[in-house]
């Protein structure tokens, strides 16, 4: 498909072409833009699997930041613990006309990025997709096709950039509430799938649901003290939302655990604990879960480095 009628073909760079970065890069390519993906582990082809549909996207794949020039849009989609390692990419890609969209979970996405891209504008984005990196450049999209950004001069321009991409950009009128609502989901589902080594079907277990409610109530109290408008109804709705996932969907933290990669707990449950300490709020469940995630040993893996763990029954 060629460029859409309203938005000209634009040069965009996506740093980190894993689950989220791969899906976003494929969408921008579909919209007709000139997409460069900046990767650490080289691959030849970006391939998105969505149910039985497999699509291939001939985006430009680069591993060397010195090959690049500043662009209008940079989408940063590395895990929060890898943000600093993206510094060389950001130096090459950003000038005063660049906007960096930070596609990460948590409530502190843009912290630390400004130092790495001092001349660029920054936009935090809340990503509403479920995707799994099966191999470098090979991604399975489970559900979802949108992300949210705060209202601002960039919001309309970003929405236009994604026209014809199959992804929508929505405006979060109340960013604090939207961020804490998304964090409530992530501190429960990411941590509990990673700890139990089970996919979303684990939320059919009454005890796990009870624990998830406790974690979310703590986060809701902390977010509330920081201005998020969250009630017990939001907590219950967030728990109910776990039933919307297919039973064999996982979370980004579960996939990291299965692959023996670091876990993003510090940006999720760790952030709840940090903010709670500043506010003098007790969050024992989030403290316990953070301690457990931080103490996990790498999994025993099979000959090909594949964890000895069955998929969902």
Ligand X SMILES: NC(=O)C1=CN([C@@H]2O[C@H](COP(=O)(O)OP(=O)(O)OC[C@H]3O[C@@H](n4cnc5c(N)ncnc54)[C@H](OP(=O)(O)O)[C@@H]3O)[C@@H](O)[C@H]2O)C=CC1
Each residue 217-236 as x (binds ligand X by CB under 6 A) or -, in order, gives --------------------
Whether 79 sits among the annotated catalytic residues: the reply is: no
Largest CA distance in the chain: 54
179 binds, among ligand KPL, ligand X, none (CB under 5 to 8 A by kind): none
Q: CA-to-CA distance for 208 and 195, rounded, in angstroms?
A: 11
Question: Minimal distance in Å, beta carbon 206 to ligand KPL?
Answer: 20
Check if the beta carbon of residue 193 is closer than 8 Å to that of residue 34.
Answer: no
Question: Minimal distance in Å, beta carbon 200 to ligand X?
Answer: 12
The interface region with ligand KPL, picked from 51-59, 169-177, 184-192, 285-293 by CB under 6 A, is 184-192
Tell the residue number behind the tokens 């967030």, with chain if given: 238
Confirm or reject binding of residue 191 to ligand KPL (CB under 6 A).
no
- Which residues from 94-153 bind ligand X, rule CB under 6 A? 103-105, 127, 129-131, 133, 136
The residues near 186 (Cβ < 8 Å, ≥ 6 apart) are 105, 106, 251, 268
Confirm or reject binding of residue 105 to ligand KPL (CB under 6 A).
yes
Count of residues of this chain found to bind ligand X when the rule CB under 6 A is applied: 30
Q: CA-to-CA distance for 108 and 147, rounded, in angstroms?
A: 16
- Which residues from 112-131 bind ligand KPL, rule CB under 6 A? 128, 130
Q: Among residues 50, 85, 176, 301, which is the contact residue for ligand X, using CB under 6 A?
A: 85
The interface region with ligand KPL, picked from 63-71, 169-177, 181-189, 280-288 by CB under 6 A, is 181-189
Rounded (10°) CA dihedral 267, 153, 175, 37: -30
Question: Minimal distance in Å, beta carbon 130 to ligand KPL?
Answer: 4
Rounded (10°) CA dihedral 175, 179, 181, 182: 140
28 φ/ψ angles, rounded to the nearest 5 degrees: -65, -35
The residues near 310 (Cβ < 8 Å, ≥ 6 apart) are none
Each residue 280-299 as x (binds ligand KPL by CB under 6 A) or -, in order, gives --------------------
Q: Among residues 10, 35, 36, 82, which is the contact residue for ligand X, using CB under 6 A?
A: 82
DSSP state of 246: -
What are the residues facing 99 on neighbouring strands? 73, 121
38 binds, among ligand KPL, ligand X, none (CB under 5 to 8 A by kind): ligand X
DSSP state of 266: G
What are the residues facing 139 on neighbouring strands? 48, 133
Each residue 226-265 as x (binds ligand KPL by CB under 6 A) or -, in order, gives -------------------------xx-------------
Catalytic hit among 69, 79, 182, 278? 182
Check if the beta carbon of residue 128 is closer than 8 Å to that of residue 120.
Answer: no
Tokens of 97: 């006309």
Instruction: List, in sequence order, every beta strand (DSSP E) within 121-204.
Output: 121-135, 138-150, 168-172
| Binding footprint of ligand KPL on the chain (CB under 6 A) | 105, 128, 130, 185-186, 189-190, 251-252
Residues with catalytic function? 182
- Could you list the residues that contact ligand X (CB under 6 A)? 15-21, 38-41, 77-80, 82, 85-86, 89, 103-105, 127, 129-131, 133, 136, 252, 264
């Amino acid at each position: 498909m060629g460029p859409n009628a309203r938005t000209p073909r634009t040069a965009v760079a996506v740093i980190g072409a894993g689950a989220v970065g791969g899906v976003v890069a494929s969408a921008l390519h579909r919209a007709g833009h000139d997409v460069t993906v900046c990767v650490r582990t080289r691959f030849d082809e970006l391939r998105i699997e969505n149910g039985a549909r497999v699509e291939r996207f001939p985006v430009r794949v680069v591993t060397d930041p010195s090959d690049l020039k500043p662009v209008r849009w940079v989408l940063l989609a590395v895990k929060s613990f890898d943000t600093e390692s993206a510094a060389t990419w950001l130096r090459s890609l950003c000038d005063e006309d660049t906007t960096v969209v930070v596609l990460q979970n948590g409530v502190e996405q843009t912290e630390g990025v400004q130092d790495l891209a001092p001349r660029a504008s920054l936009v935090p984005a809340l990503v509403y997709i479920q995707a799994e990196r099966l191999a470098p450049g090979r991604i399975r999209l489970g559900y979802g096709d949108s992300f949210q950004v705060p209202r601002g001069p960039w919001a309309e321009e970003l929405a236009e950039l994604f026209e014809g991409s199959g992804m929508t950009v929505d405006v979060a009128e109340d960013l604090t509430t939207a961020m804490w609502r998304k964090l409530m989901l992530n501190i429960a589902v990411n941590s509990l799938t990673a700890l139990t080594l089970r996919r979303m079907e684990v939320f059919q277990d009454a005890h796990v649901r009870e624990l998830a409610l406790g974690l979310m109530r703590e986060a809701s109290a902390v977010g509330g003290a920081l201005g998020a408008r969250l009630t017990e109804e939001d907590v219950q709705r967030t728990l109910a939302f776990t039933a919307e996932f297919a039973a064999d969907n996982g979370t980004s933290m579960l996939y990291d655990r299965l692959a023996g990669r670091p876990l993003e707990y510090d940006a999720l449950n760790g952030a709840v604990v940090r903010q709670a300490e500043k506010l003098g709020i007790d969050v024992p469940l989030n403290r316990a879960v953070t301690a457990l995630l931080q103490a996990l040993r790498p999994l025993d893996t099979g000959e090909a480095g594949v964890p000895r763990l069955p998929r969902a029954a």
